[in-house]
Amino acid sequence: MAAAGRPVLGLDIGGTKLAVGVVASDGTVSGFLVEPTRREEGHEIVLRRLFDLGRRSVAAARAEGALGAGEDIAAVGIACGGPLDSRRGVLTGPLHLPGWIDVPVVDLARREFGVPAALDNDATAAAYGEYRFGAGRGTETMVYLTVSTGVGGGAVINGRLHRGAAGNGGEYGHIAVQPGGRPGFGNRAGTLEAYASGTAIAQRATEVVAALGSTGRSSVLAALPVIRAEDVSSAARDGDPVAREIWDETVEILASAVADLVNILEPNLVVLGGGVTRSGALLLDPLRRHVYAQAMPPAAAAVRIELAELGDTVGVVGAGAVALDLAGSGAPITLDAHV
């Protein structure tokens, strides 16, 4: 228990970016560093760079005074997209890191840093970060939904991070919102991710704009060489009717999935994070209306819906939150230490 209270190192392995930082027991981040993943270099080279980045982060945190002279990090937390096996600490085959099959990242980190290490699905870790240090502080049961390039999420149930039987906690992007609809991952069509992810919003808008000619309607989106999700939200905000329709449909689909999560888990709080939620009230206001109208009345009366607070550091803070638990338990290894 001597380790409790000491800062930890959080490592976030994204498809395009690596992010690292030293996380104190109050959730503050020091030595926050980001660099491109360059996943095509393969896991050996990328993890070497990740660990080096982690060492630079510790040095920077020490320079900032976040670590005392002679004080070292107490544990390492790693967040990565799934599928992964958090109990064994192995990346089994993350969708966003092609070819990273059965990489024992926890063992590697433990050997590199000489402290306990833990691995969690990035959205699961982010859920825990928001619960411990963000929008979810003080709640009991919280659902976190992140909407960015993809859609993911996680839950803290009665104060405990939910990891589930497969150790990925939950894959909210792969719940069905329109059975038989747009292609999603694997055999499942019509998933939330296939409609409401940033990628899907951009694709849907591109399809609608391509078909505009035959309708006689026009849209500011038609002038763009490439349409991104943020173009759709900003054009919708500016009153473009075509963008507005795409946006409204997106919000309705997201709200239906959130109402499902509310009906299934009866949380005290739903936290919405990820790039698409930077649209703020344009998303949150109508989404709240839809959810409160659709969820079962007692569940609707019990739940708040809020935007995430941690922003770009959420992955690092989430990984750090998991590592703080590990350090606080005094457990020497990851196996069963965080389940």
What residues make contact with its own copies under the rule CB under 8 A? Answer: 82-83, 85, 92, 140-141, 157-158, 160, 162-172, 174-179, 185-188, 252-253, 256, 259-261, 263-268, 293-299, 301-303
d(CA 138, CA 193): 29
Give me the DSSP letters along 248-307. Answer: HHHHHHHHHHHHHHHHHH--SEEEEESGGGGGTHHHHHHHHHHHHHHS-HHHHHH-EEEE
**Choice between 7 and 169, CB closer to its own copies:** 169
**Choice between 54 and 167, CB closer to its own copies:** 167
Helical pair 198-210 and 229-237, crossing angle rounded to 10 deg: 70
* CB 176, min distance to its own copies, A: 5
**Choice between 210 and 264, CB closer to its own copies:** 264
Q: 173 CB contacts (<8 Å, ≥6 apart)?
A: 150, 151, 152, 153, 185, 191, 192, 193, 197
Decide: 120 and 317 in contact? Cβ < 8 Å: no
**Choice between 222 and 292, CB closer to its own copies:** 292
Q: Find tokens 């989106």 and name the residue.
A: 221
Candidates 318, 257, 251, 253; CA nearest to 286 is: 251
**How big is the CA angle at 15 (ends 14 and 21), to the nearest 5 degrees?**
20
**Choice between 303 and 322, CB closer to its own copies:** 303
* CA 147 to chain CA mean position, Å: 8
* CB 122, min distance to its own copies, A: 15
**Choice between 70 and 298, CB closer to its own copies:** 298
* CB 169, min distance to its own copies, A: 7
**Choice between 28 and 139, CB closer to its own copies:** 139
d(CA 302, CA 82): 31
d(CA 8, CA 49): 19
